[in-house]
Amino acid sequence: MKNLVVFTGAGMSAESGINTFRDAGGLWEQYPVEQVATPEGYAANPELVINFYNERRKQLLTVQPNDGHRGVAEWEKDFRVTVITQNVDNLHERAGSHHVIHLHGELTKVCSSRNPNDPRYIKELKPEEYEVHLGDKAGDGTQLRPFIVWFGESVPRMDEAVAAVEQADILVVIGTSLNVYPAAGLLYYARPETKIFLIDPKPNLAGGMPHVHVIAKGASEGVKELTETLKELR
């Protein structure tokens, strides 16, 4: 089986009803990013940040995977698929994808405030525990913090993602503005012979990527269209 790597951003989940970050009405228009998505913001007002992610978690309970997520999961029938996502939702998993690398963390998990990446203190929350409070403690006695990679923090799973892209026969990028590094740099690790597709209604491709096949459509429609093309590439 060929290796198919799918690299997704907020646009992947837009049709499920989760706002993107940088489109009009996006999350970063409603909440100052430096307050809710940086270590400095968390240090200044942990309660605000904890509540912000409580809200995101609650929203997760009200949304469903869309046809795009489901189509990506179906590709596992014909390819060895690795999903690399910048999204912190769990919609790829819920649609049936088995190998998902979350570059920017996971909403359903919490961790230590001192050592966010220490596996001993990373905990998956059950839906009934989705509301975290100031004073709730991780295993090391520090405040339970959202397991989210904030701006200015390192991206611990980047090496794993790079290794997957280097092995990709086909790379499909879906619904990301490719603004945020290091994630956006993943495309450059593809080998020259790797076939690259981009599904996005407003594709934002910087120069230097001449061999990208652009499908300027939303995730569901674009995945459906690409599924036909992929049948020829198995």
Q: Print burial letters for 196-209: b (CB count within 10 Å at least 16), e (below 16).
A: bbbbbeebeeeeee
Residue 28 or 189 with smaller CB distance to ligand APR: 28
Query: Which tokens sit at 68?
Result: 């795009």
- Of the residues 200, 215, 226, 230, which one makes contact with ligand APR according to CB under 6 A: 200
- 104 catalytic? Reply is yes
Binding mask 69-98 for ligand APR (x = CB under 6 A): -----------------x------------
Residue with tokens 């490719």: 178
Number of residues that bind ligand APR (CB under 6 A): 23
By beta carbon distance, the residue nearest ligand APR is: 11
Query: Which tokens sit at 157?
Result: 């799973």
Report the alpha-carbon distance of residue 168 to residue 87 in Å, rounded. 20
Determine if 10 is a binding residue for ligand APR (CB under 6 A).
yes
Residue with tokens 């907020």: 10
Determine if 116 is a binding residue for ligand APR (CB under 6 A).
no
Q: Which stretch binds ligand APR (CB under 6 A): 69-77, 90-98, 187-195, 199-207?
A: 199-207
Determine if 15 is a binding residue for ligand APR (CB under 6 A).
yes
| 175 closest CA partner among 196, 200, 203 | 200
Determine if 52 is a binding residue for ligand APR (CB under 6 A).
no
Residues numbered 178-197 forming contacts with ligand APR, rule: CB under 6 A: 179-180
Of the residues 92, 104, 133, 211, only one is catalytic, namely 104
Q: Please check whether residue 224 is in contact with residue 71, taking contact to mean a CB–CB distance below 8 angstroms.
A: yes
- Of the residues 77, 126, 202, 231, which one makes contact with ligand APR according to CB under 6 A: 202
**Burial of 172 (C-beta count, 10 Å sphere; 0-12/13-18/19+):** buried
Q: Please check whether residue 204 is in contact with residue 49, taking contact to mean a CB–CB distance below 8 angstroms.
A: no
Q: Site residues (CB under 6 A) for ligand APR?
A: 9-11, 14-15, 20-23, 26, 86, 104, 175-177, 179-180, 200-202, 204, 218-219
Q: Annotated active-site positions, please?
A: 104
